[in-house]
Structure 1
């Protein structure tokens, strides 16, 4: 079985994964309590799906009782540039590195299925593959499988590849030797906590999504609380600040797939503001950005315009003050007011 596991890792690396580890489905019993506490505090905001199927989300063994092993895999999307540099031009929008190219769901799932098919062909077993679309606590399972640990920013990181990775899981009925869990190696460092523009970390290893820019620009519907808008800066889809400052990224490996480096880095705000629904869908076809829709994107663009200090962008915001979407209209009026006061 150890020989099979070694060959499985070879196949995983051939498929583009930078790391593989194995754990039992019941390896992280503490996640149920942590999830309950997170939900009880309301820190999931409008992400109601997190409060659904908590029996599965908090206990991977309950998701598929026949599973005997979980193969956790990491797929790198490390950027070729410093993401913080995109914050320096207020006329352009900063887009999270993971969303600048092809939708990672498509890329990672294809690679997962390749590895899973190989495993089924080599051993008589059943498999199920998951990547961010099922109630699976991937980061705690990845730590239990020895791939890395959840840092103070709650994301997975490793001394081998930093924190620019997507995670995928292969549940299998096969009994594979589990790996030793990884220990935490953050030490006294708190760069990720201190860099957050909206103070989204109540404490190390804890996140309040309601203050997180990734949540606010992607998941949150309707107007963003006024006290948080300035903190958004020119970030129009996600935020990489806490990831970008992690010292362990000195070990980051090249992205597993060049399609992650796509056309959506730092787009022009004025050009995005005039998109209608059809144009938005066409521009972001095949991108994870498409999921938030035109209205939420243009709302984010208006906040960025308001934070830009660029008087030449005021007419752009002015043209959206009577937009059919109330959140867009509210954001546009806020932007116009900000630019008037700064002029």
Structure 2
């Protein structure tokens, strides 16, 4: 790599870190050739559940060129949200709801998109190219691309694991017409460093991993509390415990997290006090206006009041707190039938614990 190209790469990394990214790597657009077949198999198994958009956008997801034929290179970026506290600590506080670490701070969509756009503008000025930026909502397979770019590897829990940031990375991508060969040196893909460890698989409360490196979203608490709109299947309700938005269990037990330094965390993701341990009683009392007020600026706002109260009702049913019964009884008359059903289940569970449990 010429001195000018080396300097461009060095300045690109410096700019990315200046904008709050803790990891950056580059790869050719065709650097993850197995993605299409793995996606096809996963969709064919039905493991995506109600996430029908995964099917609808499958052709565009299969490779970067499927979304944008002009792309030649992918710049993968990671932003740390490494927690300072134990993500599993609230498991012993059933009167409180557990919110996944990633959702306790600012909405990562907004934070990362802003930083990606700023980096993209800088790159256009420095190198001259066409490009597109993506974070989460676009049909982009961020994890295999990040692996190809050298940010980390997809662990047995299917999430990216980094030597420097553990399991706590938000991912974004810049697709560009810039040729990596003549312009930027491609990153070196990681090999998998999970070894014989199965801690993430063993930690899953609902056995959502039929095999290492395979996730059945239909059994995953993150899917059930966030993506699933209807009644949560009874077989998973007790295992949910007090998890009301997402689940950190498989991530939190990963041994690589001992290298995750909270000093690398983007300050936008410092937890908001009201989201670290919300009282179930307060969540059960939410109306639409109250929900919007509390969760403004949070990724949680996307699920709406009804799904949050449904989740809180199930957590209440698992809490062993009969003082919550009056609130739950009121919710059995909620206009949303899914909320009403969850509340009825919780009332029955709290009213006859010796039988139901």
Q: Offset at 1:62?
A: 2.1
Spell out, residue by residue over 1:257-292, the C-alpha distance to the aligned partner (whole angstroms, 9 max, x if none): 244422311101001111111111111111111110
1:139 to 132, 137, 143: 143
Task: Name 1:2's counterpart in structure 2.
Answer: 6
Spell out, residue by residue over 1:196-226, the C-alpha distance to the aligned partner (whole angstroms, 9 max, x if none): 0000000000000000000000000110111
Q: 2:310–2:339: 8 Å Cα contact kept in structure 1?
A: yes
1:235 to 209, 231, 243: 243
Q: What secondary structure is seen at the aligned counterpart in 2 of 1:66? A: coil
Spell out, residue by residue over 1:19-48, the C-alpha distance to the aligned partner (whole angstroms, 9 max, x if none): 111111111121111111111111000001
Task: Name 1:61's counterpart in structure 2.
Answer: 65
2:261 to 253, 256, 259: 253
Task: Name 1:306's counterpart in structure 2.
Answer: 317
Task: Name 2:52's counterpart in structure 1.
Answer: 48
Q: Provide the C-alpha distance between the structure 1 equivalents of 2:314 and 2:66, rounded to a whole number of angstroms.
A: 42
Task: Name 2:333's counterpart in structure 1.
Answer: 322
Q: Provide the C-alpha distance between the structure 2 equivalents of 1:262 and 1:155, rounded to a whole number of angstroms.
A: 24
* Correspondences of 1:167-316 after superposition (within 5 Å): 167-176=171-180, 177-254=185-262, 255-263=265-273, 264-316=275-327
Q: 1:104–1:260: 8 Å Cα contact kept in structure 2?
A: no
Q: 2:150–2:187: 8 Å Cα contact kept in structure 1?
A: yes
Q: Provide the C-alpha distance between the structure 1 equivalents of 2:207 and 2:315, rounded to a whole number of angstroms.
A: 19
Task: Name 1:18's counterpart in structure 2.
Answer: 22
Moved more, 288-297 or 62-71: 62-71
Q: 2:106–2:268: 8 Å Cα contact kept in structure 1?
A: no
* Corresponding position: 1:39 with 2:49: no
Task: Name 1:92's counterpart in structure 2.
Answer: 96
Q: What secondary structure is seen at the aligned counterpart in 2 of 1:102? A: coil
Q: What secondary structure is seen at the aligned counterpart in 2 of 1:87? A: helix
Q: Provide the C-alpha distance between the structure 2 equivalents of 1:321 and 1:342, rounded to a whole number of angstroms.
A: 19
Moved more, 258-267 or 11-20: 258-267
Unaligned runs of 5+ in 1: none
* Corresponding position: 1:121 with 2:121: no
Q: Provide the C-alpha distance between the structure 1 equivalents of 2:17 and 2:200, rounded to a whole number of angstroms.
A: 29
Task: Name 1:112's counterpart in structure 2.
Answer: 116
Q: What secondary structure is seen at the aligned counterpart in 1 of 2:136? A: coil
User: How many residues matched?
Assistant: 343
Q: 2:111–2:268: 8 Å Cα contact kept in structure 1?
A: no
Q: 2:136–2:172: 8 Å Cα contact kept in structure 1?
A: yes
Unaligned runs of 5+ in 2: none
Q: What secondary structure is seen at the aligned counterpart in 1 of 2:316? A: helix
Q: Provide the C-alpha distance between the structure 2 equivalents of 1:134 and 1:257, rounded to a whole number of angstroms.
A: 25
Q: Provide the C-alpha distance between the structure 2 equivalents of 1:99 and 1:324, rounded to a whole number of angstroms.
A: 27
Q: 1:99–1:260: 8 Å Cα contact kept in structure 2?
A: no
1:76 to 74, 77, 80: 80
